[in-house]
Structure 1
C-alpha cells in the first residue's frame, strides 16, 4: 500500500468511522480497498503531473527541470486529493444530518397541505378551467417521488393528504381567494405538538400542526411509521459527507440511494 492509501485508511478510521465500520461489516478486505484507492490516486497524480509540467523548455538546466517537475507534481497532488471528496470529506454526524436534512416533518406537512389544495383546485376547475388554477407555489411533487425521498409508504402519504380536510368547496371563479381563506382557517385550527428529537429521542421539540393532521399522526401506528422512516433515512444518508448533506437536491437523494445498491422495502416499491 502506497502513502496515499495509508493516508486514506487513517482518515477513514478517524473521520469516517461509520464508513469504516460498514467496510468491516460487509467483509471488505480493507487492505485491498485502500491499496486500490492509493494506486488510483497515484495514477491521477502521474497524469496530472505530465499535463502540468508540459514539454521540456529550450535551454532549461537540470535544476530548472527538476524544479518544474516538482512544482507540477505538488500541484497535481493538491488537485488529485481535492478530487477525492468522498474519501477525504468529514462524514456527517447525526446532529448535522438532523439539522440540515432535506426531509423534515414540517416540510412534509406543508407538502401534504399543498397537494390537497391542488386536488381540490383540479376538482373545482375542471379541464376547461386550468387557467384559473394558479396558486402562488409550484405544483407539489408526485407522491411516488416523495415516498422515495422520505422512505415512507405511499399509502401513508395518501392518508396524510386526506387528513388535510378542506371546507367549503372553492368557487370556480375565485380559487385564489378560497386558497387564502383555507390557509387562514388552518391557522386558527392549529395546535402545538411535542415530538421526539431526531438526535436525542429522550428530548422533544415542538411542531405546529393542523388539528386533523395531529389526529392522524397520533393514530395507532402512524407516528411509529414516521419514526421508522427517520431511521431508514439516517441509514441511507449516514455515509454521506457534510457537503453532500448541505448541497443535495431531492433528485440526488434518489440517485444516492440506488447507487448504493440498496432496495426499497416491499411496501415502499413505486408502482
Structure 2
C-alpha cells in the first residue's frame, strides 16, 4: 500500500485515497446445533489490489476483521487481525478466517480494513451479517450411563463427533477420572458430514457413584456430555439362586407299613398300640 504522503500537487495523502473496494463475503455458514454452546462464523473476502485512485496496492501488512452484534462494527473494540500473505496481492485472492467463541443464534455484523506496513488503516469495508452457529455436533446429545461396573474391570461407550461446515475441524476430547478417553482424540474432520468416533472408558476404583462431563473441543467451540457410572465389588455380585424343584407330597408320620418281624421296632410299636387299645375297651 503506497500510503506515503503525496506532494503538494497530490491533493491529500494516500490514506485519503485508500482501497477502492473490499468484497466481503461469507462462505460455509455453519448450522445450528445447540444454543448453549459457543458459536462460530467462517469469514472470507477478496483481497484488494487497487487504491481508490486506481494505483496498484503494493504494501499491505495485515487485515483487521471487526465484528459485533451492533449495526456498525467498524471501527470498534472487537476485531481480529490476519497477516497479509504478500505485499502485492494477486487478483481474486481470497483471505479467510474463522471467528469463534460467539453467541450461538446471534446475528453478527462484520467489516474489514487493511493496514499497511506503516500502520495506516484503510476505511471500513461494507458490512456483512450472518448468524453464528456451532461447527460440530456430538451424539448422543443426552446423559450417558455406564451402568454398574465391577472394580478391577471397565466399560466403554462411544460418542460421534460430526462436522457441520465445509472447512476443516480439528479437536480433542477430555474427561476426569475415573473416566478416560480410550480412543478417537485428537480428531480431524474434513468437510460437512465428516465424523469421528470417540470412545470413553469407565474404570471404577470405589463403590461410589461417579458423575462428570466429557468435553469435546473443536475449532474453539466446546460441548459437554454428562456421563455416569457406579462401581461395585465382586462380593456384591451374588450368584443366581438354583431353579426351584417340585417336591413330592409330605408323608404322614403314621403312614408306616405293618411288620411281622419280631426284631423290627415297628412290630414292637404295633404290639404296644394293640395292647393299649385292648385295655381301653
Q: Which is richer in helix?
A: 1
TM-score (norm 2): 0.19
TM-score (norm 1): 0.19
- Point out which structure has higher relative CO (alpha carbons under 8 A, 6+ apart): 1
